[in-house]
Structure 1
């Protein structure tokens, strides 16, 4: 297969995260609005160009007060930094259909290299003849690397919000 442009089908895709809360539990959330520019041969991602943009105001943790706090200057500061972006810089095949995708992740105006494990889940045609592909991606970032340093000390020791944020994506895309 040759390199082609792929449009993310947001209704069949997700961008999710989880972070430790009070050092004993995980809080999960997702971003409802995101877009991507993918130019790739889905059977060999090593030559792909991948760009991702997430609307940080679309954060959803199923708690309005927490979501508003995440949008505030304590965390994402969406008024000054409305988007989180990722642009691939290197893609290495690690196994059949599995890749390490490294790129520049930008949050709150800070850009750092991050690597995500990506799995090509397959391809096929939908009932209307549209060619579709699926990918899963997982990674972990340190939120304080991006200036997301707000926290509160706990009476029992430790902190309210963990530093490691696990990120998980499920992507279905249609050939453009």
Structure 2
């Protein structure tokens, strides 16, 4: 398949995360609003260009007060830094349909190189004749590397919020050309 531009379908895509809470459980959440610019041959991502822009204020952990705290200067400072971005820099094929995508992740005013595992899930036509492609992926980042260092020490020793953020995503996109 030739290289094409693809538009992410937000109704059929998601970006989720989880983080340890109180050293005993995990809190899960998602970013509700994001866009992506993808220029790729979905069957061979090694030459693709991928850019994600996430609305930091769209964070949703199903708890209003926690979400407000995450939007505050203690964490994302979404008013001052409204976007989280990822720009691919290199893509290596690891197995059939599986890739490591390395790029620049920017959270707040910190940019770091991060790598995510991405799986090509396939292509197909929807009922309206549009060509669609699906990808899934995951990775993890250390939140303190991006200046997200707020925490509280617990009576039992440990901390309220873990450092490792596990990220997973399901992306469905339609061909634009």
Per the shorter chain, which TM-score range?
over 0.9
**What is the TM-score of this pair, normalised by structure 1?**
1.00
> Shift in Å at residue 79 of structure 1?
1.1
| Equivalent residue, structure 2, for 1:79 | 79
**What is the TM-score of this pair, normalised by structure 2?**
0.99
Q: What does 1:26-175 align with in structure 2 at a 5 Å threshold?
A: 26-175=26-175
Report the 3-state secondary structure (helix = DSSP H, G, I; strand = E; otherwise coil) of the residue aligned with 2:145.
helix
> Shift in Å at residue 137 of structure 1?
1.1
Gaps of 5+ in 1: none
- C-alpha root-mean-square deviation of aligned residues, in Å? 0.3
User: Which consecutive segments of 4 or more residues in structure 1 shift more than 6 A?
Assistant: none
Aligned residues: 176
| Equivalent residue, structure 2, for 1:2 | 2
Cα distance in 2 for partners of 1:17, 1:53 equals 16
Gaps of 5+ in 2: none
| Equivalent residue, structure 1, for 2:11 | 11
Report the 3-state secondary structure (helix = DSSP H, G, I; strand = E; otherwise coil) of the residue aligned with 2:105.
strand
Cα distance in 2 for partners of 1:152, 1:74 equals 12
Cα distance in 2 for partners of 1:86, 1:117 equals 14
